[in-house]
Amino acid sequence: MKVSHSLISIISLVLVIPFSNAYDPSPLQDFCVAVGNLNNGVFVNGKFCKDPKQAKADDFFYSGLNKAGSTNNNVKSNVTTVNVDQIPGLNTMGISLVRIDYAPYGQNPPHTHPRATEILVLVEGTLYVGFVSSNQDNNRLFAKILHPGDVFVFPIGMIHFQVNIGKTPAVAFAGLSSQNAGVITIANTVFGSKPPIYPEVLAQAFQLDVNIVKDLEAKFASKN
């Protein structure tokens, strides 16, 4: 079967356009340090930019990731976030960083980042980590046990988790492909919404007794 040159050109154009639209244009300046108000600023997606001539080294600096976060909580973990709120110079850069501390058998419970892919490297301890693909991919679980130096990637939007399966504390660092990745913790979001979702809705969705849902909503409402 012969394909005309014009049809080949159309097919090529259709294939190229999605890839060309998938990336942001190249930056037109060195940086766009975030400021919190409109005074002498230019608005961009997320933050205003200060005059570049007023930028200083501290706009690109953060200190403290050498310190462990408190894991004295229900999930026995702590996420220390370093995004555009901590480093204004990250504005428009499309990256951020977190340190995650896990007590023995602590976990970073199932959650998703709506605006970022995450790449995690384990520094200390042993973690069981994984993510679940979408309904279209039959909700497959991709999971591994990580040891120090191991790296795992959680694709953007996928529900994922990490659990310390060791008897000693664990520490991991993760990079995210957004200056403000956002986080949606599944249990907190579903059972701790304000106002609460009707218990009957969640009972049917999760195939639970409605009284169990009411207990869960009361528990998570008290945490928020």
Determine contact, residues 109/186, Cβ cutoff 8 Å: yes
Residue 209 burial by Cβ neighbours in a 10 Å radius (0-12, 13-18, 19+): exposed
Task: State how far the Cα of 6 lies from the Cα of 217, in Å rounded to an integer.
Answer: 60
160 is in an annotated binding site: yes
Pairing relationship of beta strands 118-124 and 170-176 according to DSSP bridges: antiparallel
Q: Which residue has the tokens 């766009």?
A: 32
118 is in an annotated binding site: yes
Task: Write the Ramachandran bin of 92: left for phi over 0, alpha for psi from -120 to 50, otherwise beta.
Answer: left
39 is in an annotated binding site: no
Q: Which residue has the tokens 């999930």?
A: 75
Task: State how far the Cα of 165 lies from the Cα of 125, in Å rounded to an integer.
Answer: 8
In the chain, alpha helices (H): 5-20, 186-191, 199-206, 210-223
Determine contact, residues 34/92, Cβ cutoff 8 Å: no
**Known binding residues for oxalate:** 108, 113, 118
Which residues are annotated as part of the binding site? 108, 111, 113, 118, 160
Positions at the binding site for Mn(2+): 111, 113, 118, 160
